Amino acid sequence: MKTIRLFLFILLSCFFIKSYATSNDSIKLAQTLSELSSICQNVDFSDPKSFELGYFYKAAPFIVYRGDDENRKWKSACVYENPSEKEQVDATCERINQTINQDSTYKILEYTTETESEGTWHVLIVEYKRKGIIKNSAFAFLKINGKFLLGDID
């Protein structure tokens, strides 16, 4: 009887620990998406770096590098000072501004994870209105060095 109780306790503990970790990840992911969308939407024109580097320079640490360098691809954040990475960051912010930043009341509908060759993708399905029409987009993040970085928007 003790063995069965111990087994059940261990089984339930594993379930709750995994459930807590998933819940914690989804909360951090939602916070990251909110912070990134705010950076893309609210360019600080009083910040001299906005003119020196570019409007979306603050977003670079939130976006995963997808360039040609295989040592960094899907493993690090963009570096805004690099022209090709700047283009990637700017395009990502423009995409965010054309999706969820069109609707200040966007809703996160679902959180899922998917394992691919790049790692475990943490995906938020988001509903928003654009020109009065309800749309959905998937924002896919990789967790790199303990931080969620946006890798794709579908």
User: Cα–Cα distance between 13 and 32 in angstroms, integer?
Assistant: 28
Domain range summary for the chain, segments of one domain joined by + = 2-153
Average pLDDT for the chain: 87
Encoded amino acid at 35, one letter? E
Confidence check: pLDDT of 49 > 70: yes
Whole-structure pTM over 0.85, yes or no? Answer: no
Distance CA 131, CA 126 (A): 16
User: In terms of Cα–Cα distance, which of 116, 121, 51, 55 is closest to 89?
Assistant: 55
Place of tokens 């691919």: 116
- Per-residue confidence at 22, pLDDT binned at 50, 70, 90? low
- Rounded to 5°, angle at Cα 46 from 41 and 49: 85
Query: Quick one: what percent of the chain has pLDDT higher than 90?
Result: 82
CATH hierarchy code of domain 2-153: 3.10.450
Supply the pLDDT for residue 18: 40
Q: Helices (H), strands (E): how many in the chain?
A: 3, 4
Q: What is the pLDDT of residues 59-106, one digit of tens each?
A: 999 999 999 999 999 999 999 999 999 999 999 999 999 999 999 999
Are 11 and 18 in contact by the 8 Å Cβ rule? The answer is no
